[in-house]
């Protein structure tokens, strides 16, 4: 052991002597050439090549550095006991980053790569219009020479893409509205005003038939990942959903769940605040990609009548609101104006956009808006089913599928809920009032379901009587089906 130390000490001594000799004999330029040649010699025989990604490239912030930092911050294999924590603007999530000399090993398409982070004191402040940070931060990427092409061709693009995705996920959603009159921006007036969107609704908390839910999730995923499909087929990268159903069945909650699932912002378009088609165009042009454009209660928002179809206007008119005529089209917002953006040429300004229209009265909507291809999916938000009820019981009372309720109680609930026409909102109200007493909550719910069931039974009987009397009077029976809900679904 002693000999090893002695040898090591003498090697270091020789090295120090050699260095001081170099310093004294050779000028700095020659030393630099020596150094470079030495490095080239080592690099020539090394199986690795190295890439440096500096935080500041000249005076500009290097986007790639930020992307690498964010991408690596999600890696579980970070070895190091000093991590820097960061919180992005508008974000509620914390991310960590690598400290000096921390190393991360990543694997891309079976190619191992090593990232190392260096933080150095900046030697001298270069003269620049903006002060540079004191530290110089650099990521070094080490990769085998034979894998160089894979890494340069796609790995860095992959990191950029992942980082953008993460940024969107970490960042709180924004909800924009046009009803505030807009905000002033250095580039001009922006017709949208935004606030952070913190709606907690997710597809897990949404009470609806699991099969239907899975179908919607699948559709959304297919859309979000379908860039190449839309490009290949020559279709605009957009999708339309029509949500219809009685009040309190979760239409708005579904929109929030969609936004949270995809990480998109929401543009809540208040049509009554838009004066004409050109104003509508300006609004659409100022929406960003990766967003959901929502028009709630489209049947009440405005009297949207069929395009140039004045003869048919009365068919789709909403009672009490005068029809708009062709002569008004120049200064009013029309159905064709709206369709131009959700479906026509203008729908392609921006990409990856979802249109969601909601209504309580699907039968009042102009068929032009419903025809296939316009709204890709018609989603019926129905009264609370048994499977939806189980989700609400889990959300509010923490009941899981098995064991939390007696099988007789479950059976009773299943029987009653089918006959009660109760909305998830009403069920939630009952459960939320009794969250501290599960037993009472279930009892209250059963009581309410029984009352509603009885009421429906009575109204059915009344209808049969009306039908009987009307037939007796030889009057034409029109539509006496009392259990038809407000959407005309039997």
Ligand X SMILES: Nc1ncnc2c1ncn2[C@@H]1O[C@H](COP(=O)(O)OP(=O)(O)OP(=O)(O)O)[C@@H](O)[C@H]1O
Least Å distance, CB 360 to ligand X, is: 5
The residue count for binding Mg ion (CB under 5 A) is 2
User: What's the Rg (C-alpha) of the chain?
Assistant: 33
Distance in angstroms (rounded) separating the CA atoms of residues 325 and 307: 10
**Burial category of 210 from C-beta neighbours within 10 Å (exposed 0-12, middle 13-18, buried 19 and up):** exposed
Q: Which is nearer to Mg ion, 252 or 428 (CB)?
A: 252
- Find the part of the chain contacting Mg ion (CB under 5 A) among 96-104, 201-209, 211-219, 243-251: 243-251
Distance in angstroms (rounded) separating the CA atoms of residues 198 and 205: 15
- Find the part of the chain contacting Mg ion (CB under 5 A) among 164-172, 250-258, 302-310, 317-325: 250-258
Residue-wise burial string across 170-187, b where 16 or more C-beta atoms lie within 10 A, e elsewhere: bbbbbbbbbeeebeeeee
Strands (E), 206-246: 238-244
Q: 56 has which bridge partners?
A: 61
Q: Are 211 and 324 in contact (CB under 8 A)?
A: no
Tokens of 414: 């299943």
Distance in angstroms (rounded) separating the CA atoms of residues 12 and 144: 31
Least Å distance, CB 448 to ligand X, is: 15
Question: Which of Mg ion, ligand X, none binds 271 (CB below 5-8 Å, type-dependent)?
Answer: none
SS3 content of the chain, % helix, strand, coil (to 5): 45, 20, 35
Question: Which of ligand X, Mg ion, none binds 249 (CB below 5-8 Å, type-dependent)?
Answer: ligand X
Question: Which of Mg ion, ligand X, none binds 425 (CB below 5-8 Å, type-dependent)?
Answer: ligand X
Distance in angstroms (rounded) separating the CA atoms of residues 106 and 115: 8
- Minimal CB distance to Mg ion: which residue? 252
Least Å distance, CB 429 to ligand X, is: 8
Question: In the sheet that 48-54 helps form, which strands lie side by side, from edge to edge?
Answer: 48-54, 135-144, 111-121, 103-108
Among 386, 399, 189, CA closest to 282: 189
Question: Which of Mg ion, ligand X, none binds 224 (CB below 5-8 Å, type-dependent)?
Answer: none
Distance in angstroms (rounded) separating the CA atoms of residues 65 and 55: 5
Least Å distance, CB 195 to Mg ion, is: 18
Least Å distance, CB 352 to Mg ion, is: 24
Q: Which is nearer to Mg ion, 252 or 334 (CB)?
A: 252
Among 100, 12, 15, 19, CA closest to 55: 100
Q: What are phi and psi of 454, to 5 degrees?
A: -65, -45
Q: Which is nearer to Mg ion, 252 or 277 (CB)?
A: 252
Distance in angstroms (rounded) separating the CA atoms of residues 288 and 352: 9
Least Å distance, CB 148 to Mg ion, is: 54
Distance in angstroms (rounded) separating the CA atoms of residues 426 and 249: 9
Distance in angstroms (rounded) separating the CA atoms of residues 22 and 24: 6
Question: Which of ligand X, Mg ion, none binds 206 (CB below 5-8 Å, type-dependent)?
Answer: ligand X
Q: Which is nearer to ligand X, 137 or 251 (CB)?
A: 251
Least Å distance, CB 364 to Mg ion, is: 16
Residues making contact with ligand X (CB under 6 A): 205-208, 247-253, 360, 381, 424-425, 428
- Find the part of the chain contacting Mg ion (CB under 5 A) among 64-72, 251-259, 346-354, 456-464: 251-259
Distance in angstroms (rounded) separating the CA atoms of residues 364 and 366: 7
Contacts of 1 by beta carbon, 8 Å cutoff, 6+ apart: none
- Minimal CB distance to ligand X: which residue? 250
Least Å distance, CB 358 to Mg ion, is: 6
Least Å distance, CB 392 to ligand X, is: 6
Question: Which of ligand X, Mg ion, none binds 177 (CB below 5-8 Å, type-dependent)?
Answer: none
Question: Which of ligand X, Mg ion, none binds 424 (CB below 5-8 Å, type-dependent)?
Answer: ligand X
Question: Which of Mg ion, ligand X, none binds 207 (CB below 5-8 Å, type-dependent)?
Answer: ligand X
Q: Which is nearer to Mg ion, 299 or 324 (CB)?
A: 299
Other CB atoms within a 10 A radius of the CB of residue 339 amount to 18
Q: Which is nearer to ligand X, 143 or 256 (CB)?
A: 256
Distance in angstroms (rounded) separating the CA atoms of residues 193 and 182: 5
- Find the part of the chain contacting Mg ion (CB under 5 A) among 35-43, 234-242, 244-252, 336-344: 244-252
Question: Which of Mg ion, ligand X, none binds 421 (CB below 5-8 Å, type-dependent)?
Answer: none
Helix or strand or coil: residue 205? coil
Q: Which is nearer to ligand X, 247 or 398 (CB)?
A: 247
Q: Which is nearer to Mg ion, 98 or 295 (CB)?
A: 295
Residue 50 Cα to chain centre, angstroms:
36
Least Å distance, CB 248 to ligand X, is: 5
Q: 183 has which bridge partners?
A: 190
Distance in angstroms (rounded) separating the CA atoms of residues 103 and 209: 47
Q: Which is nearer to ligand X, 194 or 205 (CB)?
A: 205
Q: By CB under 5 A, is residue 252 in contact with Mg ion?
A: yes
Least Å distance, CB 425 to ligand X, is: 3
Q: Which is nearer to ligand X, 340 or 423 (CB)?
A: 423
Q: Which is nearer to ligand X, 209 or 463 (CB)?
A: 209
Question: Which of Mg ion, ligand X, none binds 247 (CB below 5-8 Å, type-dependent)?
Answer: ligand X
**Which residues contact Mg ion by CB under 5 A?**
251-252
């Amino acid at each position: 052991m002693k000999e090893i130390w002695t040898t090591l000490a003498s090697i270091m001594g020789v090295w120090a002597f050699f260095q001081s000799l170099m310093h004294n004999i050779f000028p700095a330029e020659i030393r630099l050439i020596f150094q470079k040649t030495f490095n080239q010699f080592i690099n020539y025989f090394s199986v690795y090549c190295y890439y440096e990604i500096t935080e500041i490239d000249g005076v500009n912030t290097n986007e790639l550095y930020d992307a690498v930092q964010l991408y690596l911050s999600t890696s579980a294999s970070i070895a190091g006991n000093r991590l820097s924590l960061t919180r992005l603007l508008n974000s509620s999530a914390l991310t960590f980053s690598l400290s000096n000399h921390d190393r991360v090993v990543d694997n891309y398409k079976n190619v191992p790569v090593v990232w190392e982070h260096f933080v150095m004191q900046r030697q001298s402040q270069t003269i620049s219009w903006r002060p540079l940070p004191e530290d110089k931060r650099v990521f070094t990427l080490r990769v085998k020479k034979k894998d160089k092409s894979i890494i340069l061709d796609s790995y860095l693009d992959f990191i950029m893409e992942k980082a953008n995705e993460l940024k969107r996920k970490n960042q709180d959603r924004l909800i924009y509205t046009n009803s505030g009159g807009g905000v002033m921006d250095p580039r001009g007036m922006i017709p949208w005003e935004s606030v952070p969107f913190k709606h907690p609704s997710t597809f897990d908390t949404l009470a609806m038939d699991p099969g239907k839910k899975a179908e919607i999730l699948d559709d959304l995923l297919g859309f979000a990942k379908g860039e190449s499909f839309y490009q290949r087929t020559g279709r605009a990268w957009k999708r339309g959903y029509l949500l219809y159903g009685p009040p309190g069945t979760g239409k708005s909650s579904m929109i929030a769940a969609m936004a949270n699932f995809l990480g998109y912002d929401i543009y809540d378009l208040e049509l009554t605040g838009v004066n004409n088609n050109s104003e509508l165009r300006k609004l659409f042009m100022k929406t960003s990609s990766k967003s959901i454009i929502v028009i709630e209660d489209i049947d009440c928002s405005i009297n949207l009548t069929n395009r140039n179809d004045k003869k048919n206007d009365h068919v789709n008119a909403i009672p009490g609101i005068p029809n708009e005529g062709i002569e008004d089209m120049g200064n009013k917002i029309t159905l064709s104006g709206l369709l131009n953006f959700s479906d026509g040429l203008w729908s392609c300004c921006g990409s990856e956009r979802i249109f969601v229209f909601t209504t309580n009265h699907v039968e009042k909507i102009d068929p032009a808006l419903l025809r296939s291809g316009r709204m890709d999916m018609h989603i019926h938000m129905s009264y609370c089913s048994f499977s939806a009820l189980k989700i609400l019981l889990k959300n509010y009372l923490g009941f899981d599928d098995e064991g939390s309720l007696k099988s007789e109680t479950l059976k009773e609930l299943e029987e009653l809920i089918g006959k009660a026409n109760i909305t998830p909102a009403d069920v939630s109200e009952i459960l939320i009032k009794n969250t501290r007493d599960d037993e009472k909550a279930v009892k209250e719910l059963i009581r309410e379901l029984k009352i509603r069931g009885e009421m429906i039974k009575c109204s059915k009987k009344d209808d049969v009587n009306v039908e009987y009397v009307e037939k007796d009077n030889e009057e034409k029976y029109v539509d006496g089906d009392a259990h038809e809900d407000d959407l005309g679904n039997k």
